[in-house]
Amino acid sequence: MVKQERAARTRHALIQAAAAVFAEEGFVTASLSTISRRAGVSNGALHFHFANKSMLAEEVEAEAAKTLRGITEAALARHGDSLQTVVDATHELMGALAHDIVVRGGFELANDSAYRGARSLRAHWQGWIEATLRVAERNGALAEGVSWADAARVIVAATAGFEVLGGADASWLSRQNVTRFWDVILPRLAGHQHLDGLTSAGTWPQAVSPAPDRPSAPTSREQEKTDQSVF
Q: How far apart are CA 150 and CA 185, in angstroms?
A: 12
CATH classification of 57-204, choosing from 1.10.40.30, 1.10.357.10, 1.20.1260.10, 3.40.50.10490?
A: 1.10.357.10
Confirm if 2 and 226 have CB atoms less than 8 A apart: no
Confirm if 157 and 164 have CB atoms less than 8 A apart: no
Per-residue pLDDT, 2: 67
Count how many Cα atoms sit within 13 Å of the Cα of residue 142 in the half-sphere of its side chain. Answer: 20
DSSP three-state, residue 168: coil
Per-residue pLDDT, 113: 75
Q: How far apart are CA 231 and CA 91, in angstroms?
A: 40
Domain ranges of the chain: 57-204
Per-residue pLDDT, 223: 42
Report the chain (231 residues): mean pLDDT per 10 consecutive residues: 80 95 92 93 90 92 95 92 94 96 92 74 94 94 95 96 93 96 96 90 64 39 42 40
Residues 6+ apart with CB under 8 A from 131: none
In this structure, what are the phi and psi dihedrals at residue 2, rounded to the nearest 5 degrees? -60, -45
